[in-house]
């Protein structure tokens, strides 16, 4: 079976005019299809840096990375964009919905860049919204939705292209704990349907729900427990 | 090709619709620019057509001789330049006798003076002409008769008056046979001209015509203002011109101290002047369009700044740089063309509206101006969209996503 994530010695060093910031130091990580893992660590420890590398938003300064069996190290900007489009779904702490567009239009967005024919987009976006329990809110704009509902729209958007890997960076960070729990429950039901899930958090309670927990400190993965 | 032009277009369109206010603001300059190009060019073009029409009223067989030579006086419309350049009654008479291709000739003296009848005054232009003037300039007395025909009667104190003069001085009563003082000299009204309105700078309805010699003595003028003549047929216009030129040169000891004008000459002279006027107006308006282009660029740049996170997000969702570039470029082009279309509507609407309010105003919406103003606005959007679009497409997705 091909691992979804197969990273060896992955590192990211920022060069701030002479001063080097090692945001991530030689991380090794293997994640199999269908896994649900939490990456935990304090603020500034390198969690987002790791997620950006795993999601092909950024390129490492050292190490190799195979996503779903494909070596992405030498890919061009366009190649990375294509990987993001086809294989990765992102969920952000701040939702990142386009405020002037309806929930449906927001969810259709990744389909545009994946080259899905316009006539198929709507039905697929509706299906994804129904999956996150927002079948009755499709015509609403983000400002007309609660925080939890907004994050559900974001989850639907991350799902709509049927990605190999779902990456969530502090997905409950802007939600109160009850709504945060609902979002985690949604993630878990998606994972139960086979989606590979990586949740990044600084909250131990959030991490505790995942079967596999990794801890990151000062850019280094310091523990990996099941 | 994945997510091609039509998707970029619909994304751009969705963005324009989603932020209507900003879009309208961006377009406002383009709208006004295009509308003013169309309006100003229409005015210029209309003025040209108006003048052309007026000159055309002159008739294709009419020749005008003015004293002085255009090359010696330097102006395009020479006016009297000295006693040796005078045109005389004798010149006009000889022109009518010695030029077979010439059908009719009338000397013209112009004076401005007060006319007076029945205790009422009016300041009018008085033309001293002859019977043949009606033939050349196509005017008729539809009441009474025109000025006397025979040369011996060129000094008689009779007058043919315009409609307006009749209305103002005689309050619409029959003026025939009544006394009319022209600059203090008593004339008798023998005819009233049919309504004709403006022609070549004169309001014929507000004119008084008297025999040429009478006018010379009333206004104490020795020479003539001009001599008007008509060729027997339009085809013989050149021939008539040559005969007149030869006849006058012989009489002036070989000197060409006069200028012959015909409709074509005046049309081309004034046409060229008005063409450059139209171009100048169009260029001024085009500059305002260019300025509007900078406005588009500015607002698009601000929009890229505001939408940095959105751009980062689109990239995270799989947008390639080229797709971001295309989206912003099309947004700018769409703003340009929407603004252009609205400007066309406003400009053409404005022209039509002006025409309704001021029917006399010469206005002609030039299709070429509409087409070029519209294309220019699309081009302006595209060209000035390049910088913002490149900036958007070059953003680093992570930095863009972090942007606050
Ligand atoms: N673009 C960047 N330039 C310089 N330093 C950065 C940049 N991005 C992140 N860092 C640094 O890398 C470290 C890890 O950051 P990050 O991965 O965002 O941490 P976390 O998400 O765990 O809070 C921090 O010290 C941060 O300041
Ligand atoms: Mg972070």
Predicted pLDDT of residue B277: 85
- Same domain as B39, residue B12: yes
| Residue-averaged pLDDT of chain A | 94
| pLDDT tens-place string over residues B14-44 | 888 878 888 888 888 889 989 998 888 888 8
B263 is a domain residue: no
Task: Give domain status of residue B79, yes or no.
Answer: no
Q: Is B397 on the interface with A (CB under 8 A)?
A: yes
Structural domains of chain A ordered from first start: 5-96+163-225 (3.40.50.300)
Same-domain check for residues B386 and B314: yes
Number of H-type helices and E-type strands within chain A: 7, 10
* Same domain assignment for residues B275 and B243: no
Q: Are residues B149 and B99 in the same domain?
A: yes
**Could you give the number of structural domains in chain B?**
2
Please say which residue of B226, B256, B286 terminates a domain.
Answer: B256
Q: What is the 3-state secondary structure (H, E, C) of chain B?
A: CCCCHHHHHHHHHHHHHHCHHHHHHHHHHHHHHHHHHHHHHHHHHHHHHHHHHHHHHCCCCEEEEEECCHHHHCCCCCCCCCHHHCCCHHHHHHHHHHCCCEEEEEEEEEEEEEEEECCEEEEEEEEEECCCHHHHHCCCEEEECCCCCCHHHCCCCEEEECHHHHHHHHCCCCCCCCEEEECCEEEEEEEEECCCCEECCEEHHHEEEEEHHHHHHHCCCCCCCEEEEEECCHHHHHHHHHHHHHHHHHHCCCCCCEEEEEHHHHHHHHHHHHHHHHHHHHHHHHHHHHHHHHHHHHHHHHHHHHCHHHHHHHHHCCCCHHHHHHHHHHHHHHHHHHHHHHHHHHHHHHHHHHHHHCCCCCCCCCHHHHHHHHHHHHHHHHHHHHHHHHHHHCCCHHHHHHCC
Walking along chain B (404 residues) 10 residues at a time, the average pLDDT comes out as 68 82 86 90 83 75 86 44 72 92 95 92 94 90 92 94 93 90 94 84 89 95 92 91 94 89 80 84 84 86 90 95 92 90 93 85 82 90 92 93 86
Q: Which domain holds residue B131?
A: 85-256
Same domain for B296 and B374, yes or no, is yes
Instruction: Establish if B65 belongs to a structural domain.
Output: no
Test the A interface: residue of B9, B21, B314, B317 with most A CBs within 10 Å? B317
Does residue B71 lie within any of the structural domains? no
User: Is the residue at B265 inside a domain?
Assistant: no
Residue B14 shares a structural domain with residue B107: no
Compute the distance from residue A44 Cα to the ligand 2 centre, in Å.
7
Taking the model in full, what pTM does it have? Answer: 0.72
Which residue in B2, B310, B398 is closest to A57 by CB distance? B398
Q: Which of B231, B256, B281 is the last residue of a domain?
A: B256
Half-sphere exposure of A178 (CA within 13 A, CB side): 1
Q: Are residues B292 and B218 in the same domain?
A: no
Q: Are residues B109 and B171 in the same domain?
A: yes
Does residue B73 lie within any of the structural domains? no
Q: Do residues B92 and B213 share a domain?
A: yes
- Residue whose CA lies nearest to ligand 1 atom number 5: A14
Distance from CA of A86 to the nearest CA of B (A): 8
Confidence of residue A210 (pLDDT cuts 50, 70, 90): very high
Give dist(CA B316, CA B328) in Å, integer.
17
Residue B330 forms part of a structural domain = yes
Q: Which two tokens stand for residue A219?
A: 């850019």
Q: Which ligand is nearest to the CA of A50?
A: 1
End-to-end CA distance of chain B: 34
B320 contacts A78? CB cut-off 8 A: yes
Which of A165, A141, A167, A168 shows the shortest CA–CA distance to A153?
A: A141
CB contact under 8 A, A77 and B319: no
Q: Is residue B70 in some structural domain?
A: no
Lining ligand 1 with CB less than 6 A are: A 14, 16, 21, 23, 41, 43-49
> What tens digit of pLDDT does each residue of A73-106 get?
889 999 999 999 999 999 999 999 998 889 999 9
Examine the fold and report which residue of B204, B232, B256 is the final residue of a domain before the chain moves on: B256
Those residues whose C-beta lies under 8 Å from the C-beta of residue B183, and which sit 6 or more positions away, are B111, B113, B114, B115, B126, B218, B219
Q: Which atom of ligand 1 is found nearest the CA of A219? A: 14
> pLDDT, tens digit, for every residue of A121-162?
999 999 999 999 999 999 999 999 999 999 999 999 999 999
- ipTM of the assembly? 0.95
Tens digits of residue pLDDT in A2-25:
999 999 999 999 988 889 999 999
Q: What is the pLDDT of residue B83?
A: 45
Cβ pair B398:A84 closer than 8 A: no
Whether residues B132 and B197 share a domain: the answer is: yes
Nearest CA to ligand 1 atom 14: A46
Looking at the fold, whether B249 and B335 belong to one and the same domain comes out as no
CA angle, corner B112, sides to B109 and B114, nearest 5? Answer: 130
Nearest-CB residue to B11 (from A55, A57, A112): A112
Average pLDDT on A53-58 reads: 95
B242 with B277, same domain?
A: no
Is residue A146 packed enough to be buried (19+ CB in 10 Å), middle (13-18) or exposed (0-12)?
Answer: exposed
Model confidence pLDDT, tens digit, residues B126-135: 999 999 999 9
| Rounded Cα–Cα distance for residues A96 and A74 (Å) | 29
Residue A57 and residue B318: Cβ atoms within 8 Å?
no
Given a cut of 60, whether residue A198 has pLDDT beyond it is: yes
- Tell me what pLDDT residue B84 has: 57
With beta carbons under 8 A apart, name residues in chain A contacting B18.
Answer: 98, 100-101
| Residue A52 alpha carbon, nearest atom of ligand 1 | 17
């Amino acid at each position: 079976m091909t691992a979804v994530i197969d990273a060896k010695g992955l590192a990211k060093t920022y060069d701030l005019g002479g001063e080097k910031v090692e945001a991530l130091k030689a991380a090794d990580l293997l994640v199999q299809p269908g896994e649900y893992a939490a990456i935990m660590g304090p603020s500034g420890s390198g969690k987002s840096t790791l997620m950006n590398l795993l999601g092909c938003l950024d390129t490492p300064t050292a190490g190799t990375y195979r996503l779903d069996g494909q070596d992405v190290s030498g890919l061009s900007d366009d190649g990375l964009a294509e990987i993001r489009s086809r294989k990765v779904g992102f969920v952000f702490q701040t939702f990142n919905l386009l405020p002037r567009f309806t929930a449906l239009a927001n969810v259709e967005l990744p389909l545009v860049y994946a080259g899905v024919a316009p006539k198929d987009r709507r039905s697929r976006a509706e299906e994804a919204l129904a999956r996150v329990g927002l079948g009755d809110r499709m015509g609403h704009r983000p400002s007309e939705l609660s925080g939890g509902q907004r994050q559900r729209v974001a989850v639907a958007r991350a799902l709509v292209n049927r990605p190999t890997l779902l990456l969530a960076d502090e997905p409950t960070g802007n939600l109160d704990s009850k709504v945060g729990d609902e979002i985690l429950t949604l993630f878990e039901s998606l994972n139960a349907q086979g989606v590979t899930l990586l949740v990044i958090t600084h909250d131990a309670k959030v991490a505790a729900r995942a079967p596999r927990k990794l801890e990151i400190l000062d850019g280094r993965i310091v523990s990996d427990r099941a | 090709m994945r997510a091609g032009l039509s998707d970029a277009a619909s994304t751009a369109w969705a963005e324009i619709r989603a932020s209507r206010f900003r879009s309208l603001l961006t377009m406002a300059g383009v709208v006004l620019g295009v509308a003013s190009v169309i309006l100003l060019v229409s005015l210029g073009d209309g003025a040209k057509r108006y003048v052309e029409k007026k000159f055309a009223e002159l008739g294709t067989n009419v020749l005008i001789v003015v004293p002085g030579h255009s090359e010696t006086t330097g102006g395009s419309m020479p006016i009297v330049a000295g006693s040796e350049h005078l045109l005389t009654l004798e010149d006009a008479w000889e022109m009518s006798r010695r030029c077979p291709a010439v059908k009719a000739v009338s000397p013209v003296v112009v004076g401005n003076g007060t006319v007076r009848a029945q205790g009422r005054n009016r300041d009018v232009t008085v033309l001293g002409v002859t019977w043949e003037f009606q033939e050349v300039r196509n005017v008729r007395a539809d009441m009474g008769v025109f000025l006397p025909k025979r040369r011996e009667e060129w000094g008689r104190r009779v007058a043919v008056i315009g409609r307006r003069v009749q209305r103002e001085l005689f309050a619409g009563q029959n003026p025939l046979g009544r006394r009319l003082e022209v600059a203090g000299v008593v004339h008798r009204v023998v005819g009233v001209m049919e309504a004709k309105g403006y022609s070549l700078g004169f309001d014929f309805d507000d004119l008084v015509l008297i025999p040429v010699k009478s006018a010379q003595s009333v206004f104490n003028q020795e020479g003539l203002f001009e001599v008007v003549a008509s060729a027997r047929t339009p085809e013989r216009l050149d021939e008539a011109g040559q005969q007149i030129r030869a006849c006058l040169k012989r009489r002036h000891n070989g000197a060409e101290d006069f200028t012959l004008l015909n409709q074509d000459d005046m049309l081309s002279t004034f046409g060229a002047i008005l063409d450059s006027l139209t171009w100048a107006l169009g260029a001024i308006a085009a500059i305002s369009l260019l300025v509007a282009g900078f406005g588009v660029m500015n607002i698009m740049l601000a929009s890229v700044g505001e939408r940095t996170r959105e751009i980062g997000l689109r990239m995270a969702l799989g947008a390639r740089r080229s797709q971001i570039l295309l989206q912003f470029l099309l947004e700018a082009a769409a703003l340009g063309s929407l603004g252009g279309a609205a400007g066309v509507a406003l400009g053409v609407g404005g022209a039509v509206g002006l025409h309704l309010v001021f029917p006399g105003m010469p206005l002609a919406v030039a299709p070429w101006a509409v087409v070029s103003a519209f294309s220019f606005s699309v081009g302006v959007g595209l060209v000035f969209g390049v910088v913002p679009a490149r900036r958007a497409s070059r953003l680093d997705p992570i930095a863009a996503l972090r942007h606050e």
